Structure 1
Amino acid sequence: MFAAGIAAGGINVVVGSGSLITFPTLLAVGIPPITANIANNVGLVPGSLTGVLGYRSELSGQRDRLVRLGVASVVGALIGGVLLLRLPESAFQVIVPVLIAVACVLVVFQPQINRWLMRRRENAHPHGGPVLWAAVLAAGAYGGYFGAAQGVVLIGLLGAFLDEDLQRVNAAKNMLVLLVNGAAAVLFTVVAHVDWAAAGLVALGSMVGGYLGARVGRRLPAPVLRGIVVCVGVLAIVKLLTE
């Protein structure tokens, strides 16, 4: 779990799909799906924080934008967290394999998404506008409920609506993911059962991974990272469908 946390922390900062590493690992050691999802969410918060600190120079000048979008992320995260706790576990086991499959597709096609964003750059709205706010709210709900590849979703949204280079978009994505994970983690800590041993191991690993991802992760071959993420995601789908 500690090693998975390191991998996920680094991948979240660079690619945005680290839950596809930690969540299947938690399942593999016998933790029930919803408990594993909660531990995963809580454990990845420190990694998101170290990733944000590593990208702090790219966050310069984005304060007002991130305050507005951060409200949407927090509200969405709370909605998603409530849905996770209120819906039956059987619904989670049906919904999550679909979400993982969609996340894997997003990871595979991320280079094409990035090229599409670059072509749209000239038409981007300078402030995002209400459509982006609503889309970030929906992404926050997704993140609060499960969240694998929410970073990829956010990069796509921010890149499509903002006139910024992708490094600054990625920095903004890291901040919004931190807010989503943090808000959901507070909710789970107050009203749900948290497996603190599992969450703690993931947290320690994600802190290391987030730091390394911000420092050197961008030098690693992206196709290798995507391949690992997709393979682990497929294993998670098989695990959930065969339980």
Structure 2
Amino acid sequence: MTWLEQLAVFGAGIAAGGINTIVGSGTLITFPVLLAFGLPPVTANVSNTIGLVPGGISGVIGYRRELEGQRARLIRLGTASLLGGTTGAVLLLTLPATAFKAIVPVLIIAALVLVVVQPRLARWVKRRREADTGPEPEHGGLILFVAVFAAGIYGGYFGAAQGVLLIGLLGVFVHEDIQRLNGVKNVLGLLVNAVSAVVFTLVADVDWTVVALIAIGSVIGGQLGAKMGRRLPPNALRAVIVVVGIVAVVRLLMS
């Protein structure tokens, strides 16, 4: 890669780290850049995933205040993310990309619908739980655990807009402030990327120059994203999520 191409990858890493912290579609910036510079798709995908792990750590640290008091939730849902991420990474290395890529736009559109109607759906779920004489499901119950596991499979396989899926699911099934849920989303996305990175490092073809450039850039972007994301009011944050999600769908359909 020329120094201009390396600078472009570094800049894409900054943007991806920031967007991942706020919403979760940073891969839609870095992945096309890597393809444009001639990296094979699988190599670009695995190198991008590994490179974004430090940025994920940076974003989690930036949102550490919002994570206080959520240890049990993180352990439960984090387990689902780890299992799903491992499954998705294995699928990436064993199955053709065409089958899973075909349903990615559908998954993102479904997540955007969840984000838009989240306040109304959350009220509906709460009324249903209050009317139920049985115990209230803790941290979203089994449905959310399975949904986070499925999102982890998707994230381990490709990862674009995984955060959009997670924030939509968390907003519906967990009655909590959206900024605190955004902190949870960052942890879950990091766990998926981290476990996928371990698998890819062991068995996949990795471009370590790309990894280093994206890693350094995403750490910077993660801190910037944490500062910007925390200041956004809930409705503004939802608007950002929807806009980035729509861009994700368009770019995937055009690719």
Q: Which residue of 1 aligns with 2:185?
A: 173
1:126 and 1:163 in contact (8 A); partners too: no
Q: Which residue of 2 aligns with 1:164?
A: 176
- How far has the Cα of 1:238 moved from its partner? 3.0
Q: Which residue of 2 aligns with 1:75?
A: 83
Q: Which runs of 5+ in 2 are unaligned?
A: 1-8, 130-135
12, 20, 39: which one pairs with 1:12? 20
Runs of 4 or more above 6 Å deviation: none
Q: Which residue of 1 aligns with 2:254?
A: 238
- How far has the Cα of 1:98 moved from its partner? 4.2
1:7-31 deviation digits (Å, cap 9, x = unpaired): 1111111111111111111111111
Q: Which runs of 5+ in 1 are unaligned?
A: none
- How far has the Cα of 1:112 moved from its partner? 1.1
Max Rg structure: 2
1:25-71 deviation digits (Å, cap 9, x = unpaired): 11111111111110111111111111110111111111112112111
Hey, what's the Cα distance between the residues in 1 that align with 2:43 and 2:206? 7
Hey, what's the Cα distance between the residues in 1 that align with 2:31 and 2:150? 21
Hey, what's the Cα distance between the residues in 1 that align with 2:231 and 2:202? 39
216, 226, 235: which one pairs with 1:214? 226
Q: Which residue of 2 aligns with 1:139?
A: 151
Flag the 1:162–1:111 CA change in 2: closer, same or farther, 3 A.
closer
TM-score of the superposition, structure 2-length normalised?
0.82
1:118-143 deviation digits (Å, cap 9, x = unpaired): 43463484422222211111111111
State the number of aligned residues: 235
Q: Secondary structure at the match of 1:61?
A: coil
2:115 and 2:167 in contact (8 A); partners too: no
2:25 and 2:244 in contact (8 A); partners too: no
Flag the 1:102–1:17 CA change in 2: closer, same or farther, 3 A.
farther
1:141-171 deviation digits (Å, cap 9, x = unpaired): 1110011111111112222221211111111
- How far has the Cα of 1:74 moved from its partner? 0.7
Flag the 1:35–1:185 CA change in 2: closer, same or farther, 3 A.
same
Hey, what's the Cα distance between the residues in 2 that align with 1:98 and 1:171? 27
Opposite residue 72 of structure 2, the aligned amino acid is: D
